[in-house]
A and B are shown apart, each in its own frame.
Chain A
Amino acid sequence: MTEPVVVVRDLWFSYGSQLVLRDVGLSIKRGEFLAVIGPNGGGKTTLIKLILGILKPDRGSIAVLGAPPGQASRDMGYVPQNTNIAPQMPITVMDVVLMGRLGHAGRSWRYSSRDRAAAEKALGRVGLLKFRNRSIQKLSGGQRQRVFIARALASEPEILFMDEPTASVDQEWQESIYDLLKELNETVTIVVVSHDVGVLSSHVKSVACVNQTLHFHDEAEITEEMLDKLYRCPVDLIAHGVPHRVLRDHEGES
């Protein structure tokens, strides 16, 4: 249970002349529930996209399940931050979720009944099975986000990456999604990106703070010093379900 599923070494990445990640190293164990936190623009999403193989690093190496990024696609699930893609295109909820089965269906001209069953099961888990034949345009932002979670689950992934999975989900579902993730975490390695430290609550097992560099912490505790480096403002933190205020107020304020 402790072999690493993702190994990142000496990773550098920049958009043009804008350095985003500097000398990042990370090892994610099997069964991990890792929260990637940090300020907006700190490189969290970029790091995930590098691990997924969507972006190519300037320097350094990444191995996912022992292979280069992008090779182990059928074992990966990904919930992107932006779920309002191609907003005018007519596509049913089921067709979106079935995209998660592309890696399994391969080059076959259609999805198998197993693919459909997996997609329906995933939709059921996010409580949207009854909407499967609806157009995705007719759903709310929160419902659409749940469809994208279902799409990631439909892959039956070994590693699940979620970029701000609760950004537009309503309050009631935020809790449910984290409960669902906790349940999934019994078999699936989970990496959640969030700029909202509090919402991660008691579920995460470790934390990686990304702000150009990466600081890894093998427990769900975040030290004051660490957050100080990351943020310039105070953060309310809940660790192990116990809410407590970790940081002092803004410097210069009283």
Chain B
Amino acid sequence: MPEAFQYEFMQNALMAGLLASIACGIIGTLVVVNRIVFISGGIAHAAYGGVGLAIFLGISPILGALGFTVAVALVIAVISFQNKSRADTVIGVLWAVGMACGVILIDLSSGYNVQLMSYLFGSILAVPRLDLFMMAILNLIILGVIFFFNKDFLAMSYDDEYAGLMGVPVRRLYILLLLLVALCVVIIMRVVGLILVIAFFTISPYIAEKYSRSLKKMMALSISLNVLFTLVGLWLSFQFNLTSGAAIIMVAALFFFLSHIPRIRRKPPPVEP
């Protein structure tokens, strides 16, 4: 394996994986504890409309996706405030409409469908330097925002009613969180692809939650797990010529199932340690 990492594309892939792991470990943790997995799925899939629009207009897909996901995140935030009881339905519609837009816009552009697959399922082995640079900047934004509002995000995630009572601007913070989800989607689009984003968002935090007693530890552990999944998945992808995103998710899924085994075994006798 080490010789593989001498290639520049491999180094770029590693860098992309690391950047995605950090962003997803942090945002994924907040997505899981705030139970906005479905909303994040909507934002991620609708992002494909942005990719299509960018290809149609001939601009950078990562920029197109960024603008589009941010807009979708804002729309979803407004909907989830105004029509709470049917928000999930509307998000489901946006989810599909975003993808349909992307497909049609790509149809209307020149005919190569390679792009389609790489944004849907990731192409970590073909991340250009410019995209890496963008990913790094988005990561810095996410880290900065979370660092600055850490106690507010913690309070909102645990008890939004009390946080609001104590003067935390819960609504604005919620919108901010959805915007960060949008940025994070753009970061990992290249690594695991838009369709598989949800698994990358949820699996590590889900496992990490069981072994953490604070949100900070849950984030740190999620990042570590993401790095592990990405490294192993990347190696599998390189060795066996597999699609990188799918390989990474399968590694994560393996750990997801393994994390359940000791629980199932321990459950029957009610013996407390």
Q: Give chain A's interface residues, CB within 8 Å of chain B.
A: 52-54, 70, 73-74, 76, 78, 80, 85-86, 88-92, 95-96, 98-100, 102-103, 105-106, 109-111, 133-135, 151, 155
Which residues from chain B contact A133 at a C-beta distance below 8 Å?
213
18 of the cross-chain contacts (CB-CB < 8 Å) are A52-B165, A76-B165, A85-B158, A88-B209, A90-B213, A90-B218, A91-B154, A95-B215, A96-B158, A99-B159, A99-B163, A99-B166, A102-B152, A102-B166, A102-B167, A109-B148, A134-B213, A135-B214
Contact with A along B52-88 (1 / 0, CB 8 A): 0000000000000000000000000000000000000
Contact with A along B128-171 (1 / 0, CB 8 A): 00000000000000000001111110110111011111111000
Known: A89-B157, A89-B158. A109 touches B149 (CB 8 A): yes
Count B-side interface residues using an 8 Å CB cutoff: 27
A-facing residues in B151-205 (Cβ within 8 Å): 151-152, 154-155, 157-159, 161-168
- By the criterion CB–CB under 8 Å, are B215 and A91 in contact? yes
- By the criterion CB–CB under 8 Å, are A110 and B165 in contact? no
Q: Which of B33, B150, B161, B168 contacts A89 (CB 8 A)?
A: B33
> How far, in Å, is B19 (CB) from chain A's closest CB?
23
- By the criterion CB–CB under 8 Å, are B213 and A103 in contact? no
Q: Which B residue sits closest to A78, measured CB to CB?
A: B165
Known: A52-B165, A76-B165, A109-B147. A92 touches B214 (CB 8 A): yes
Q: Does B212 contact A (CB under 8 A)?
A: yes
In whole angstroms, what is the CA distance A110 to B155 when docked? 12
> How far, in Å, is A69 (CB) from chain B's closest CB?
10
Which residues from chain B contact A78 at a C-beta distance below 8 Å?
162, 165
Q: Give chain B's interface residues, CB within 8 Å of chain A.
A: 33, 147-152, 154-155, 157-159, 161-168, 209, 212-215, 217-218
> How far, in Å, is A20 (CB) from chain B's closest CB?
18
Known: A86-B33, A86-B159. A54 touches B165 (CB 8 A): yes
In whole angstroms, what is the CA distance A98 to B147 when docked? 17
- By the criterion CB–CB under 8 Å, are B215 and A90 in contact? yes
How many A-B contacts are there with CB distance less than 8 Å?
81
In whole angstroms, what is the CA distance A86 to B34 when docked? 9
> How far, in Å, is B156 (CB) from chain A's closest CB?
10
| Contacts beyond the supplied A90-B212, A102-B167: 15 A-B pairs with Cβ under 8 Å | A54-B164, A70-B165, A73-B167, A78-B162, A80-B161, A85-B158, A89-B157, A92-B213, A96-B158, A99-B155, A105-B151, A106-B167, A109-B151, A110-B150, A155-B166
- By the criterion CB–CB under 8 Å, are A80 and B162 in contact? yes
In whole angstroms, what is the CA distance A152 to B21 when docked? 37
> How far, in Å, is B22 (CB) from chain A's closest CB?
19
Q: Which B residue sits closest to A106, measured CB to CB?
A: B167
Q: Which of A52, A70, A95, A102 contacts B214 (CB 8 A)?
A: A95
- By the criterion CB–CB under 8 Å, are A90 and B161 in contact? no
Q: Which B residue sits closest to A53, measured CB to CB?
A: B165
- By the criterion CB–CB under 8 Å, are B167 and A74 in contact? yes
Which residues from chain A contact B150 at a C-beta distance below 8 Å?
109-110
In whole angstroms, what is the CA distance A1 to B213 when docked? 44
- By the criterion CB–CB under 8 Å, are B151 and A111 in contact? yes
Which residues from chain B contact A109 at a C-beta distance below 8 Å?
147-151
Q: Which A residue sits closest to B212, measured CB to CB?
A: A90
In whole angstroms, what is the CA distance A126 to B13 when docked? 53
Which residues from chain B contact A95 at a C-beta distance below 8 Å?
154, 158, 214-215
> How far, in Å, is A151 (CB) from chain B's closest CB?
8
Which residues from chain B contact A96 at a C-beta distance below 8 Å?
158
In whole angstroms, what is the CA distance A96 to B217 when docked? 16
Which residues from chain B contact A53 at a C-beta distance below 8 Å?
165
Q: Which of A73, A90, A92 contacts B166 (CB 8 A)?
A: A73
In whole angstroms, what is the CA distance A88 to B148 when docked? 25
In whole angstroms, what is the CA distance A151 to B214 when docked? 17
Which residues from chain A contact B149 at a C-beta distance below 8 Å?
109
Which 9 residue pairs are nearest across A and B when measured between Cβ atoms?
A102-B166, A135-B213, A90-B212, A73-B167, A103-B166, A89-B33, A109-B148, A99-B155, A103-B167
In whole angstroms, what is the CA distance A99 to B150 when docked? 12
In whole angstroms, what is the CA distance A245 to B213 when docked? 48
> How far, in Å, is A111 (CB) from chain B's closest CB?
6
In whole angstroms, what is the CA distance A133 to B216 when docked? 13
- By the criterion CB–CB under 8 Å, are B158 and A102 in contact? no
In whole angstroms, what is the CA distance A78 to B163 when docked? 11
